Protein backbone atom coordinates (compact mmCIF):
# COMPACT_ATOMS: atom_id res chain seq x y z
CA UNK A 1 0.00 0.00 0.00
CA UNK A 2 1.41 3.38 -1.02
CA UNK A 3 1.28 6.12 1.63
CA UNK A 4 0.39 9.51 0.25
CA UNK A 5 2.15 12.45 1.91
CA UNK A 6 0.34 15.70 2.40
CA UNK A 7 1.69 18.88 0.82
CA UNK A 8 2.58 20.16 4.30
CA UNK A 9 4.93 17.20 4.86
CA UNK A 10 6.88 18.23 1.76
CA UNK A 11 6.94 21.94 2.56
CA UNK A 12 8.42 21.66 6.06
CA UNK A 13 11.71 19.96 5.01
CA UNK A 14 12.10 22.49 2.18
CA UNK A 15 11.52 25.39 4.53
CA UNK A 16 14.08 24.00 6.96
CA UNK A 17 16.62 23.67 4.14
CA UNK A 18 15.95 27.22 2.98
CA UNK A 19 16.34 28.50 6.53
CA UNK A 20 19.70 26.72 6.88
CA UNK A 21 20.89 28.37 3.66
CA UNK A 22 19.71 31.74 4.94
CA UNK A 23 21.58 31.23 8.22
CA UNK A 24 24.78 30.48 6.30
CA UNK A 25 24.33 33.62 4.20
CA UNK A 26 23.90 35.69 7.35
CA UNK A 27 27.04 34.04 8.77
CA UNK A 28 29.01 35.03 5.65
CA UNK A 29 27.76 38.61 5.95
CA UNK A 30 28.68 38.64 9.64
CA UNK A 31 32.22 37.56 8.70
CA UNK A 32 32.49 40.50 6.30
CA UNK A 33 31.17 42.74 9.04
CA UNK A 34 33.88 41.50 11.41
CA UNK A 35 36.59 42.20 8.83
CA UNK A 36 35.56 45.83 8.40
CA UNK A 37 34.38 46.58 11.95
CA UNK A 38 36.55 48.44 14.41
CA UNK A 39 37.72 46.43 17.40
CA UNK A 40 34.88 46.08 19.89
CA UNK A 41 32.56 48.03 17.60
CA UNK A 42 28.96 47.39 16.67
CA UNK A 43 28.21 43.96 15.14
CA UNK A 44 24.47 43.91 14.32
CA UNK A 45 24.75 41.17 11.68
CA UNK A 46 26.67 38.90 14.02
CA UNK A 47 23.98 39.46 16.63
CA UNK A 48 21.34 38.53 14.02
CA UNK A 49 23.25 35.32 13.27
CA UNK A 50 23.29 34.42 16.97
CA UNK A 51 19.56 35.07 17.26
CA UNK A 52 18.86 32.93 14.20
CA UNK A 53 20.89 30.17 15.85
CA UNK A 54 18.88 30.68 19.06
CA UNK A 55 21.99 31.49 21.06
CA UNK A 56 21.47 33.31 24.36
CA UNK A 57 23.84 36.24 24.86
CA UNK A 58 24.13 39.38 26.97
CA UNK A 59 23.61 43.01 26.06
CA UNK A 60 27.29 43.64 25.23
CA UNK A 61 29.14 41.17 23.03
CA UNK A 62 32.05 41.14 20.59
CA UNK A 63 33.03 38.32 18.22
CA UNK A 64 35.96 38.57 15.79
CA UNK A 65 36.59 36.93 12.42
CA UNK A 66 36.31 33.23 11.54
CA UNK A 67 33.72 32.31 14.16
CA UNK A 68 32.45 28.75 13.77
CA UNK A 69 29.53 27.29 15.71
CA UNK A 70 28.62 23.62 15.34
CA UNK A 71 24.99 23.57 16.45
CA UNK A 72 22.15 26.00 17.08
CA UNK A 73 21.11 26.53 20.70
CA UNK A 74 23.33 24.75 23.28
CA UNK A 75 25.37 27.91 23.92
CA UNK A 76 24.88 30.63 26.54
CA UNK A 77 27.07 33.75 26.63
CA UNK A 78 26.91 36.02 29.65
CA UNK A 79 27.18 39.79 29.86
CA UNK A 80 30.22 41.50 28.35
CA UNK A 81 31.68 38.53 26.47
CA UNK A 82 34.46 39.16 23.95
CA UNK A 83 35.69 36.45 21.58
CA UNK A 84 38.72 37.00 19.34
CA UNK A 85 39.42 35.68 15.84
CA UNK A 86 39.39 32.00 14.81
CA UNK A 87 37.02 30.80 17.53
CA UNK A 88 35.61 27.27 17.23
CA UNK A 89 32.70 26.21 19.42
CA UNK A 90 31.76 22.56 18.98
CA UNK A 91 28.65 22.56 21.13
CA UNK A 92 27.60 18.91 20.84
CA UNK A 93 25.82 19.59 24.13
CA UNK A 94 25.52 22.71 26.26
CA UNK A 95 28.37 25.18 26.72
CA UNK A 96 27.81 28.01 29.18
CA UNK A 97 30.09 31.05 29.59
CA UNK A 98 29.70 33.54 32.43
CA UNK A 99 29.96 37.34 32.57
CA UNK A 100 33.09 39.37 31.72
CA UNK A 101 34.69 36.69 29.57
CA UNK A 102 37.72 37.39 27.38
CA UNK A 103 38.60 34.66 24.88
CA UNK A 104 41.73 35.34 22.83
CA UNK A 105 42.19 34.17 19.24
CA UNK A 106 42.22 30.45 18.55
CA UNK A 107 39.96 29.42 21.43
CA UNK A 108 38.41 25.97 20.95
CA UNK A 109 35.55 24.68 23.10
CA UNK A 110 34.45 21.10 22.43
CA UNK A 111 31.75 19.41 24.50
CA UNK A 112 32.02 16.18 22.53
CA UNK A 113 34.29 13.21 23.19
CA UNK A 114 34.52 9.44 22.69
CA UNK A 115 34.75 6.46 25.02
CA UNK A 116 38.42 5.43 24.74
CA UNK A 117 37.60 1.71 24.60
CA UNK A 118 34.49 1.56 22.43
CA UNK A 119 34.94 4.89 20.59
CA UNK A 120 31.24 5.53 21.15
CA UNK A 121 30.55 9.29 20.98
CA UNK A 122 29.73 11.05 24.25
CA UNK A 123 28.68 14.59 25.10
CA UNK A 124 29.43 16.35 28.40
CA UNK A 125 28.61 20.03 29.10
CA UNK A 126 31.28 22.70 29.57
CA UNK A 127 30.80 25.40 32.22
CA UNK A 128 32.94 28.56 32.41
CA UNK A 129 32.47 30.99 35.28
CA UNK A 130 32.63 34.78 35.58
CA UNK A 131 35.67 36.97 34.91
CA UNK A 132 37.64 34.35 33.00
CA UNK A 133 40.40 35.13 30.49
CA UNK A 134 41.74 32.50 28.09
CA UNK A 135 44.98 33.24 26.24
CA UNK A 136 45.76 32.52 22.58
CA UNK A 137 45.08 28.99 21.29
CA UNK A 138 43.47 27.57 24.43
CA UNK A 139 41.45 24.34 24.12
CA UNK A 140 38.81 23.37 26.68
CA UNK A 141 37.48 19.82 26.43
CA UNK A 142 34.20 18.13 27.28
CA UNK A 143 33.13 17.96 30.92
CA UNK A 144 35.40 20.75 32.14
CA UNK A 145 34.19 23.26 34.74
CA UNK A 146 36.15 26.49 35.07
CA UNK A 147 35.48 28.55 38.17
CA UNK A 148 35.21 32.32 38.62
CA UNK A 149 38.23 34.64 38.38
CA UNK A 150 40.47 32.35 36.36
CA UNK A 151 43.27 33.01 33.86
CA UNK A 152 44.29 30.24 31.45
CA UNK A 153 47.65 30.69 29.75
CA UNK A 154 48.24 30.65 25.99
CA UNK A 155 48.43 27.25 24.32
CA UNK A 156 46.90 25.40 27.27
CA UNK A 157 44.86 22.22 26.94
CA UNK A 158 42.21 22.07 29.66
CA UNK A 159 40.92 18.55 30.32
CA UNK A 160 40.30 18.85 34.08
CA UNK A 161 38.31 21.27 36.22
CA UNK A 162 40.00 24.53 37.21
CA UNK A 163 39.00 26.01 40.59
CA UNK A 164 38.08 29.64 41.14
CA UNK A 165 40.75 32.25 41.83
CA UNK A 166 43.57 30.52 40.00
CA UNK A 167 46.03 30.81 37.12
CA UNK A 168 46.47 27.65 35.03
CA UNK A 169 48.83 26.85 32.14
CA UNK A 170 50.23 23.88 30.27
CA UNK A 171 49.35 20.71 28.41
CA UNK A 172 47.43 19.51 30.27
CA UNK A 173 46.65 22.73 32.13
CA UNK A 174 47.61 22.83 35.81
CA UNK A 175 47.14 25.52 38.44
CA UNK A 176 50.46 27.32 38.97
CA UNK A 177 49.40 30.23 41.17
CA UNK A 178 46.43 31.75 42.98
CA UNK A 179 44.66 34.73 41.43
CA UNK A 180 43.65 37.36 43.95
CA UNK A 181 41.46 40.17 42.64
CA UNK A 182 40.19 43.17 44.55
CA UNK A 183 36.39 42.64 44.78
CA UNK A 184 35.93 46.43 44.83
CA UNK A 185 37.49 46.88 41.38
CA UNK A 186 35.42 46.18 38.30
CA UNK A 187 37.20 43.94 35.75
CA UNK A 188 38.50 45.50 32.54
CA UNK A 189 36.15 45.25 29.61
CA UNK A 190 36.05 46.64 26.12
CA UNK A 191 32.91 48.49 27.20
CA UNK A 192 34.94 50.79 29.45
CA UNK A 193 37.60 51.05 26.74
CA UNK A 194 35.00 51.98 24.14
CA UNK A 195 33.45 54.60 26.38
CA UNK A 196 36.79 56.06 27.48
CA UNK A 197 37.21 59.61 26.29
CA UNK A 198 33.55 60.12 25.51
CA UNK A 199 32.14 63.32 26.87
CA UNK A 200 29.52 62.79 29.51
CA UNK A 201 26.23 64.52 28.83
CA UNK A 202 25.09 66.38 31.93
CA UNK A 203 21.73 65.42 33.30
CA UNK A 204 19.06 68.08 32.76
User: Active-site positions?
Assistant: 114
Cα separation, 109 vs 187, in Å, equals: 23
For residue 178, the SS3 value is: strand
Ranges of H-type helices in the chain: 7-36, 44-52, 190-195
- Contact between residue 45 and residue 29 where contact means Cβ atoms under 8 Å apart: yes
Half-sphere exposure of 146 (CA within 13 A, CB side): 33
Those residues whose C-beta lies under 8 Å from the C-beta of residue 30, and which sit 6 or more positions away, are 43, 45, 46, 48, 49, 67
Four-CA torsion 21, 27, 31, 34, nearest 10 degrees: 150
Cα separation, 192 vs 172, in Å, equals: 34
Helix, strand, coil share (%) of the chain residues, nearest 5: 20, 30, 50
Amino acid sequence: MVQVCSSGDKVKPKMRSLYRYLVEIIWLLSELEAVFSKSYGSIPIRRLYLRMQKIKYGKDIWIGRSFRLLNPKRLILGERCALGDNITISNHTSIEIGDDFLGASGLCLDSGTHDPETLIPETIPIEIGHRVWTGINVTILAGVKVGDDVVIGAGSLVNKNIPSNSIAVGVPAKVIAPLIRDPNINPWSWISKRNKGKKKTPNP
